[in-house]
Amino acid sequence: MLNLTCAISGLNISMVGFGNSSVAIPHTAGYYHPIFAASYKTIYSLYGQHCKGELSPQDSYLLFLAILHSSDKIDWKHPATCKPTDAKTYKLIENNISQLVSVLEKTANITHPSFRQPRFSVNFDNSKLEQIPNWIEAWNRNIADFYLGAATLREIEELQALENKLTFHILSGAAPSQYSTVIANWAEKAAEFPLDKAEQWKQIIRTCFNPYKMFTTKLANIKEVRDYCYANIEAGSIHFHELCEALDTGITNHIDYLGLASPVSGFTLLPNTDGSVNSSITYDKQPSALAGTLAKIKANTPLSEPIESQYPSKVEYIKAKLAYRLSKSTQDISVIDNI
pLDDT digits (tens, 9 = 90+) for 244-281: 888 887 887 776 554 444 433 333 444 444 444 443 43
- The answer on 93 and 65 residing in a single domain is yes
Note the pLDDT of residue 140: 93
- The answer on 287 and 223 residing in a single domain is no
- The answer on 56 and 143 residing in a single domain is yes
- The answer on 244 and 306 residing in a single domain is no
Contact yes or no for 22/1 (Cβ under 8 A): yes
Note the pLDDT of residue 91: 95
- The answer on 93 and 10 residing in a single domain is yes
- The answer on 275 and 239 residing in a single domain is no
- The answer on 235 and 100 residing in a single domain is no
Note the pLDDT of residue 290: 45
Note the pLDDT of residue 151: 65
Angle between helices 198-207 and 180-191 (to 10 degrees): 140
CB atoms within 10 A of CB 172: 9
Q: What is the mean pLDDT of the chain?
A: 78
- The answer on 140 and 12 residing in a single domain is yes
Higher pLDDT, 205 or 315: 205
Q: For residue 153, tell me if it sits in a domain.
A: no
Q: For residue 260, tell me if it sits in a domain.
A: no
Q: For residue 166, tell me if it sits in a domain.
A: no
Confidence of residue 61 (pLDDT cuts 50, 70, 90): very high
Note the pLDDT of residue 120: 97
How many structural domains are present in the chain?
3
Domain that holds residue 239: 174-255
- The answer on 142 and 6 residing in a single domain is yes
pTM, to two decimals: 0.51
- The answer on 100 and 231 residing in a single domain is no
Highest mean pLDDT (candidates 192-196, 242-246, 264-268, 327-331)? 192-196
Q: For residue 37, tell me if it sits in a domain.
A: yes
Q: For residue 139, tell me if it sits in a domain.
A: yes
CB atoms within 10 A of CB 198: 17
Note the pLDDT of residue 321: 67
Note the pLDDT of residue 277: 41
